[in-house]
């Protein structure tokens, strides 16, 4: 078997580190061609010394200079590039077969599109890019299928849905008999906390997720349930279903990663320990299965599985995401942009936890109706919504 060339966008993050862990178990099957990070020099040096990629991208220029010097000291042959454009360069290198799209936030959009256009297998963790430009991104995958472009979801829920849908009918839910997607959610750290005290939540409490270890932004998104909101929109695009076919199910044990309900009464689910190496290994090996290092699920230890309906009053952000998707593409860009600004402001203690949905709601009011089809219009709407959200943050501060 030919060894596959891998590019990891966002190598120093939680998903990036887990991807390197799975790859290290299969040295004959894969080799790392390129790694990227925003500014974490120490971690990228360590990763470059370990896997010796041909290229490493550090988006921030000063950090790139430091990386270059440190790698030279250790005689590491990796070529260092810097700047946002370099992310697109490594995502489309001819020697790259698979791209792990694991940058957090809107910054992932252009490199992910470049990977699709270059005909890569895109292993998509960066849900924000689908929320911003679902149609454009899915079209880029479909239009470049002849070059080898394909999309495999890394988000554990979407990976579970993908596994629970027969591939031959993907894209034709009518024939497949798909009635509903049951998108599971742990409910986050404040599932049972008194709603009246949510305004007192600290960033430290919000990032402490009960079941998953994740980056700061997605951890706050899980606490507000915006993560589930973004995932509803992500599922609509990935599986070509309207939002009213997606039922969010609170499942505190996080053992079932999502389910698909069929018209004959069957419900298919994917279960496993909550560890991102399972979806990562699935996407890397597909259609084969490869070892991931994840401990087998002991169903006797799990013993019980609980399910609840979401409380939309507690989960205001989830409601806003459903509303935004119904409104159209400009609204989902505003939703994502304002959420990124609000989460950052909350982490920097500028606004309260309960202010996050207020900032997003204001940005949704500003977003024009309809959907932008061109990348420049999408990026412009993203910038406008960010400015608007920053003004809301300043007013609340």
Positions in the binding site for Mg ion (CB under 5 A):
155-157
CB of residue 48 vs Mg ion: minimum separation in angstroms?
Answer: 29
Which helix H or strand E contains 340, and what residues bound it? helix 329-347
- CB closer to Mg ion, 222 vs 381: 222
User: Residue with the closest Cβ to ligand NAD?
Assistant: 13
CB of residue 156 vs Mg ion: minimum separation in angstroms?
Answer: 5
Cα dist from 219 to 203, 204, 207, 227, 261, whole Å: 10, 10, 5, 8, 28
CB of residue 395 vs ligand NAD: minimum separation in angstroms?
Answer: 26
40 contacts which partner out of ligand NAD, Mg ion, none, CB within 5 to 8 A by kind? ligand NAD
Closest CA to 212 of 248, 188, 247: 188
Among positions 80-139, residues that touch ligand NAD (CB under 6 A) are 102-104, 107, 125-128
Tokens of 159: 């990976």
CB of residue 186 vs Mg ion: minimum separation in angstroms?
Answer: 9
246 contacts which partner out of Mg ion, ligand NAD, none, CB within 5 to 8 A by kind? none
- CB closer to Mg ion, 155 vs 355: 155
Tell me how far apart the alpha carbons of residues 163 and 152 are, in angstroms, rounded to a whole number. 10
Instruction: Draw the binding track, 47-66, toward ligand NAD (x: CB under 6 A; -: no contact).
Output: ------------x-------
CB of residue 175 vs ligand NAD: minimum separation in angstroms?
Answer: 29
- CB closer to ligand NAD, 7 vs 173: 7
Tell me how far apart the alpha carbons of residues 248 and 309 are, in angstroms, rounded to a whole number. 7
Tell me how far apart the alpha carbons of residues 57 and 38 are, in angstroms, rounded to a whole number. 8
* Residue reference for tokens 């309207």: 242
- CB closer to ligand NAD, 126 vs 258: 126
Asked if 334 is part of the footprint of ligand NAD (rule: CB under 6 A), the reply reads no
- The phi and psi torsions of 257 (rounded to 5 degrees) equal -95, -5
Task: Single out the residue of 116, 152, 214, 335 in contact with ligand NAD (rule: CB under 6 A).
Answer: 214
37 contacts which partner out of ligand NAD, Mg ion, none, CB within 5 to 8 A by kind? ligand NAD
How many angstroms separate the most distant Cα atoms in the chain?
64
- Size of site (CB under 6 A) for ligand NAD: 26
Asked if 11 is part of the footprint of ligand NAD (rule: CB under 6 A), the reply reads yes
- CB closer to Mg ion, 88 vs 157: 157
Rg (CA), the chain: 20
Cα dist from 100 to 78, 96, 167, whole Å: 19, 11, 21
DSSP letter for each residue of 218-265: HHHHHHHTHHHHHHHHHHHHHHT--GGGEEEEE-TT--EEEEEEETTS
Q: Which residues bind ligand NAD (CB under 6 A)?
A: 10-16, 37-38, 40, 59, 102-104, 107, 125-128, 155, 212, 214-215, 217-218, 276
């Amino acid at each position: 078997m030919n060894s596959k060339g891998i590019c990891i966008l966002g190598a120093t993050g939680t998903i990036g580190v887990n991807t390197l862990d799975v790859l290290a178990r299969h040295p004959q099957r894969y080799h790392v061609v390129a790694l990227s990070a925003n500014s974490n020099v120490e971690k990228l040096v360590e990763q470059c010394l370990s896997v010796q990629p041909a290229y490493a991208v550090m988006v921030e220029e000063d950090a790139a200079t430091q990386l270059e010097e440190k790698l030279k000291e250790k005689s590491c042959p990796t070529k260092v590039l810097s700047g946002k454009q370099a992310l697109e360069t490594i995502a489309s290198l001819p020697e790259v077969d698979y791209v792990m799209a694991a940058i957090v936030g809107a910054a992932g959009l252009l490199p992910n599109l470049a990977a699709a256009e270059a005909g890569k297998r895109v292993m998509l963790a960066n849900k924000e890019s689908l929320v911003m430009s679902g149609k454009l991104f899915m079209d880029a995958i479909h239009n470049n299928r002849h070059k080898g472009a394909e999309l495999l979801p890394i988000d554990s829920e979407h990976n579970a849905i993908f596994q629970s849908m027969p591939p031959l009918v993907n894209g034709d839910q009518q024939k497949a008999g798909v009635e509903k997607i049951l998108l599971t959610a742990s409910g986050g750290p404040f599932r049972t906390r008194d709603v009246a005290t949510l305004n007192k939540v600290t960033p430290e409490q919000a990032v402490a997720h009960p079941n998953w270890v994740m980056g700061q932004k997605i951890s706050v998104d899980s606490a507000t349930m915006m993560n589930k909101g973004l995932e509803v929109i992500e599922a609509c695009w990935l599986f070509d279903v309207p939002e009213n076919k997606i039922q969010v199910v609170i499942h505190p044990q996080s053992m079932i990663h999502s389910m698909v309900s069929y018209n004959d009464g069957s419900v298919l689910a994917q279960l496993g320990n909550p560890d991102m190496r399972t979806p990562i290994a699935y996407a890397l090996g597909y259609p084969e299965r490869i070892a991931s290092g994840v401990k087998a699920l002991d169903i006797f230890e799990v013993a019980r599985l609980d399910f609840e309906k979401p409380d939309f009053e507690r989960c205001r952000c989830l409601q806003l995401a459903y509303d935004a998707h119904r409104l159209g593409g400009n609204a989902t860009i505003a939703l994502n942009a304002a959420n990124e600004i609000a989460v950052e402001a909350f982490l920097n203690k500028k606004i309260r936890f309960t202010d996050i949905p207020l900032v997003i709601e204001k940005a949704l009011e500003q977003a024009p109706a309809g959907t932008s089809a061109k990348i420049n219009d999408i990026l412009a709407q993203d910038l406008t919504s960010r400015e608007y959200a920053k003004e809301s943050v300043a007013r609340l501060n």
